[in-house]
Structure 1
């Protein structure tokens, strides 16, 4: 597939639906704790449990989600996840209006919505390569990731405005609509669904093992997974203390904190606008390790921030990280999607989510522990150095000897035995992928 993605109706619908869902997720990220704190009068610990429940599904259902994404029509799976999330979120304002809103209900909605989000994410990342083709993967992933950054900028402000106008509970009516928009956009895609030659003849455990085994056998994927997991750990360690650092050490107001993070997020947005051209110039494979190494020294501006105008140092360091995250995530995901055989892609994507996201709650706890033990500024210094150190995994990897990604995988490349035999039978019967 060649040509501009702006002329691809299927991609634009997928992208538009995903963007609507991202905005909905950002609204939830603000409205859920506000609902717990202001309406249900939850304690600090009870509110913190909500954050944990948002990440737990990645540890529990990522691997089964990968198996399912390799076996079923992924577009229908994504539509089902969107509709399910819309219905679940409607339970909150309905519960508030009928007097049945409780903390237990909120916990249940957050957990079940998180489960559906995991299934949607795995299916989405697995479906995208089939819609755009290997030559347009970097551009497609850059556009999608940039919409996530824009949602990060606009979503919290929109959520705050909605909560102020309609109240925390009624905000979820709008939140539910964003997922309905996503479902409708996906339903309008007319591109033919790709055939599935999934591991339906093997059990769940073996199917999961095949995805993990593929990652383990690929030297570059192993390094990417280690880099991502370590980076996520230290990023969350940073986030565990950054707001407290800004408010207590630097005396920043709530408005200033919001502005600092908004300015920092601009780095990711700007990087997204040039990601496709930059990776073509630097090299699609080379961009992975260059994007991890080059911005690293600027991370030191985060713990070096001072009160007043010195807050801009924090914003600059955060912007450098945003640019790094954009370029690295786009390139690393594109590599994974390109070299993984289609019958395994759902399980390989799920394997990455399971391990790399599994380090996130641990990192948040580590950040708090470091802040308590050494102070906020030293904790931030340790965390940003840890973020930069993650680059060592990709610097000392086969990526350093490559300029561009290798050729895209075919359906039979490195496919498990049962799948390869099934594919051979399909070829003999004259069927096409």
Structure 2
């Protein structure tokens, strides 16, 4: 070793790194006193914040993110939750089918109950989320959702065992509303936490991995969930979701990280809730790119909200599939999500271009229009692959840009605003399909055609808005 230099093992942000520092200088985090050498500490921070592989001479590929234990556990938590949610949703869909409910209408009601809290509680999340430690928010949320899911299972038990022939589903939807209320705080906290675990220069890679993995596990979970619901029963799918929440609590608890900055006023005190809400909204309006990105997220949420309900009717009625067949059809979207991962995972410069969401929406619109023109499963499968590739990657650009450009103490509020807008647009989408006779009587293939045209129109408007805000 070079004289005067020592090699030291550090653990920062749950990432083990080796940094080179002058000998004789006490380093923070060890047994000795904290160092006064700011330059050396900055170097160590830069190494731990995104360059953990430089000492090995390996490139910073997307897969190297898994060497960060904190990121790896957050990612694993997301996978477990996505699988659990998908299995429970497919279990409830099997309940609708086997007990002679209108699958399309009940699916819209179920998703409406999930999305409504985002609109009602979005302002509360904007006002308070940046005042709390995000990892704590995630753990408490998952622990509470375990109890709610167990409540759903208990309420459905008499109906599923045949002790009663009919059971009011409004209780189930009320409990799903509670899950949605928790999710209103959960999702913004999770996305806002990500930059605390990795460096900003790796956000595109991290969001690519998150978005595509989420898409793959969601559609894969629905494919598995359709099979489980038909063979093992509805209750298995519901209880699996409770187990998933418990596993997530353990994974999040094992993330080791220092406390992050929280929103405070000039005197170091947390501002009042409404004052924080007003400040967050003004920040969003004045920010050069945040507002168009939030708008784009809302547009995508509306299109997705209409699609997930219309797809159920399209698969079961137009294509003549059952619950398992619907799950396998959605599984084709998982293949497309994997293709999206391969494209975005390379981290090429084009993945950061403002043209990316425009192209994605146009491609998705064309695929939807073509689906509306066929009732043959073999023709629909490749179109589902294309939709999977688009759906899995369209949020990558949005999330990475917001995480990169929004300051630390406003990040949670901006993501909460995005969640509030997406909840509003999805609520409208779901209500149109169970609350209006016009949509209920409109064939699913016609709705798909409208979606295709709307996606292309939204792409043009979104691109114009982003260029206007320059």
- Asked if structure 2 preserves the Cα contact closer than 8 Å seen for 1:228 and 1:356, the reply is yes
Instruction: Specify which of 220, 234, 247 is matched with residue 181 of structure 1.
Output: 247
- Asked if structure 2 preserves the Cα contact closer than 8 Å seen for 1:159 and 1:171, the reply is yes
Say whether residues 1:384 and 2:444 are aligned partners: no
**Could you tell me which residue of structure 1 aligns to residue 299 of structure 2?**
230
**Could you tell me which residue of structure 2 aligns to residue 66 of structure 1?**
126
Change (3 A) 1:255 1:46: closer
- Asked if structure 2 preserves the Cα contact closer than 8 Å seen for 1:70 and 1:198, the reply is no
- Asked if structure 1 preserves the Cα contact closer than 8 Å seen for 2:212 and 2:337, the reply is yes
* Structure 2 counterpart SS, 1:197: coil
**Structure 2 unpaired stretches of 5+:** 1-48, 52-63
Separation in 1, partners of 2:169, 2:447: 33
Mean Cα displacement is larger for which, 333-342 or 29-38?
A: 29-38
Alignment of 1:20-419 (within 5 A): 20-35=80-95, 49-94=109-154, 103=169, 105-164=171-230, 166-198=232-264, 201-252=270-321, 256-293=325-362, 296-307=365-376, 311-366=377-432, 375-398=443-466
**Structure 1 unpaired stretches of 5+:** 403-433
Separation in 2, partners of 1:246, 1:146: 23
Q: How many residues align?
A: 398
Q: Deviations over 1:109-151 (max 9, x none)?
A: 2121221122111110111111112111111111111221122
Scaled by the length of structure 2, what TM-score is found?
Answer: 0.75
Tell me how far 1:331 sits from its aligned partner. Answer: 0.9
Tell me how far 1:58 sits from its aligned partner. Answer: 1.0
Higher-Rg member (1/2): 2
Tell me how far 1:282 sits from its aligned partner. Answer: 4.7
Separation in 2, partners of 1:43, 1:121: 30
Separation in 1, partners of 2:414, 2:371: 34
* Structure 1 counterpart SS, 2:346: helix
Separation in 2, partners of 1:73, 1:83: 16
Change (3 A) 1:254 1:155: closer
Tell me how far 1:223 sits from its aligned partner. Answer: 2.2
Tell me how far 1:52 sits from its aligned partner. Answer: 2.0
**What is the CA RMSD across the aligned residues, in angstroms?**
3.2
- Asked if structure 2 preserves the Cα contact closer than 8 Å seen for 1:66 and 1:350, the reply is yes
